[in-house]
Amino acid sequence: MKKTLILFAGITLFISCKSGQNKSSKNSSELNELVSIMQGHYSSEIQSKEDKDYYNISLRMTPIWKEKGNYLFVEQAIFDKQDKPYRVRVYRVTQKSENEFISEIFTIKNEKDWIGKWATPKDYDKLTESDIELKEGCQVTLKREGKKKFSGATGDKTCPSELRGASFANSIVTVSQNEILSWDQGFDKEGKQVWGATKGGYRFIKMK
């Protein structure tokens, strides 16, 4: 079986609330907890050694724009090619209800200009909201499953995808204190899977 790259839609991972929902209110302890455990540098190295159908992927989630809300700048790359990430995104994490959270996903205009800026995160201050665009229907809704554990998924057939003949994409995500499990799959209009892992999600272990 050929190795399959994840497409973390994400993490990928990771919720559609109205714009600005959290800007005027103080974060709850639950929202702070989720955002805190999401951020960091992750690797799927252990899984790639256990199962050769999985690549060793680097996943970085760096907090940005703290004065505007809970935003994460996300890069995914083959671990040995972190200077050439195959996915560059911004996530906005908000709280919908007491135990329900939304992670919206944004693409970035001129994304190559921002690759590697995690090393000097102050540079993200130059990125503006006009530089990003919401991926409608691709948000992930997460629910608390326990202390420092949240699980969720995209809506059913709500996230459009044209990659490799796909019609839509689905993502299933679990975020815990030191690990993110992300299973991203693309399906054609008949419901046949055309990309993504077939055995299960990628298991990312936090490195720092």
The whole-model pTM stands at: 0.84
Mean pLDDT of the region 164-169: 92
Share of the chain above pLDDT 90, in %: 81
Asked if 13 and 180 count as a contact pair (C-beta separation under 8 A), the reply is yes
- Name the average pLDDT for the chain: 88
What is residue 23's predicted lDDT score, i.e. its pLDDT? 41
Residue 17 has pLDDT above 90, yes or no: no
Residue 12 has pLDDT above 70, yes or no: no
Distance CA 173, CA 168 (A): 17
Q: 176-185 burial string, b = 16+ CB within 10 Å, else e?
A: beeebbbbbb
Mean pLDDT of the region 90-97: 96
- Label residue 3 by pLDDT band (50, 70, 90): low
Mean pLDDT of the region 202-207: 97
Residue 11 has pLDDT above 60, yes or no: no
Mean pLDDT of the region 9-36: 60
Please state which of the ranges 70-79, 89-98, 156-165 shows the lowest mean pLDDT.
156-165
What is residue 84's predicted lDDT score, i.e. its pLDDT? 95
Residue 193 has pLDDT above 90, yes or no: yes
Residue 119, Cβ density class (10 Å: 0-12 exposed, 13-18 middle, ≥19 buried): exposed
Per-state percent for the chain, helix, strand, coil, to nearest 5: 20, 40, 40
76 or 163, higher pLDDT: 76
What is residue 196's predicted lDDT score, i.e. its pLDDT? 87
Please state which of the ranges 16-25, 78-87, 152-161, 181-190 shows the lowest mean pLDDT.
16-25
